[in-house]
Amino acid sequence: MRRLPWGYRVRFSVESDDGGPRGTTTRRRGVAGVTDGERGREFVEGRFDRWWTRFLAKGLDRYDLQNLRDDIGAWEEWCETFAAVGEEHAEHGREAEAAGNATTAGEHFLRASMYCHFGSFAWFVDEGRRERVHRRGVELWERAAPHLDPPAERIEAPHPGGADVPGYLRVPGGTPDGLDESPLVILLSGLDSTKEEQHTRASDFHARGIATLSVDGPGQGEMWYTRTMTPDYHEAISAVVDHVEGVDDVDASRLGVYGVSIGGFYAPHVAANDDRFDACVGLAGPFSVGPASLYRSVSMRDGFLHACRADSFVEADEITERMTLRGDIEDLTAPALMIAGGNDTVIPPEQTRRIAERAPNGELLYYPDGDHVCKNRVTQYRPYAADWMRERLV
């Protein structure tokens, strides 16, 4: 493994989201260790503190966020309050579209989609309401799609399990170094994210002439309705590659995969099981997902139960304990860049380091002060990772 110059180990500790010890696993559907009624103002404040930088990075308005923080008194109110703000931005989008201002319309619809996404992404109080807001977010993103630069095309790749894999393909107008077609990077989300949230990371590649395809895999986003989390995640992504191999303007023989958080596990898992991938980036991913019941983060525990459609951690653990690179890592022969932060309180950085050390062509980009997915080092790791991927695909 080639270790980058600033890489070194730091002491690591894990805390629960609320700063206290991990609770018991007795729960109502969608709630781990605490009932919805106990998730009041203090819990809501904690969510804003934890996700504030993520909200801003995805284009949410600081003034809106401050008002939402003041207005939401309990977790039960979170989903629909966020969605209401999304509808305000959607109205601005319709007005801009009617006036012929396509770029502005796209910006408004995209922002509206993000409010719906963040209203529903880790909220499992009422599945009917969550689904309604999630699907509305997808609808708004697709309203933005033709107005984006580059525009997005929805694809649905046939999957052997009978459920299509949905995604957004975006191909930039120019190609790198005079290539006839753009290389392609497939973007994979984490436990609580979806393909709609990947637009910022996709822009790094578009600026370098590389096409992107953001997808929902089993247990994620739209695909959750038909396929739950599975140790065979790679089969869905291989089906996506089959589907795009003949797409015009895309050179699928120059293929990369990039995953974030649990997606940082999926990316090397996919590349190890499909030798068509030429490069792999994994951000803050675990070598082994392990038992869902051992995670100390409230949102992670909720998320695993939801992704697995499980009523108990006994059921969820049966799935997540089988999600490991232990039998795959030697097959990850493509160049693999793993990125980790020393202050990650969700995925221990030693887990990500282990992928880099065990992969035949692995290397580690390590930020001693980096938090989970290195949100506090975005301006450093994102251009580095995009340049690294470009060098290997071009």
Per-residue model confidence (pLDDT) at position 34: 52
Supply the range of the domain harboring residue 348: 2-34+150-393
Secondary structure (3-state) at 77: helix
In tens, the pLDDT along 272-320 reads 999 999 999 999 999 999 999 999 888 899 999 999 999 999 999 999 9
Q: Please say if the pLDDT value at position 10 is more than 60.
A: no
Place of tokens 């675990």: 286
Over residues 22-45, the mean pLDDT reads: 59
CA distance 244 to 242: 6
50 and 155 inside one domain: no
46 and 29 inside one domain: no
197 and 321 inside one domain: yes
229 and 326 inside one domain: yes
158 and 135 inside one domain: no
Last residue of a domain, one of 122, 148, 174: 148
Residue 178 — pLDDT band, cuts 50, 70, 90? confident
54 and 168 inside one domain: no
235 and 248 inside one domain: yes
Over residues 372-387, the mean pLDDT reads: 96
Last residue of a domain, one of 148, 176, 193: 148
What's the whole-model pTM score? 0.90
CA distance 361 to 330: 10
Q: Please say if the pLDDT value at position 8 is more than 80.
A: no
246 and 104 inside one domain: no
The strand ranges marked E within the chain are 2-3, 152-157, 165-170, 182-188, 211-215, 250-260, 279-283, 336-341, 362-367
Last residue of a domain, one of 148, 171, 205: 148
Number of domain units in the chain? 2
CA distance 239 to 244: 9
68 and 186 inside one domain: no
139 and 154 inside one domain: no
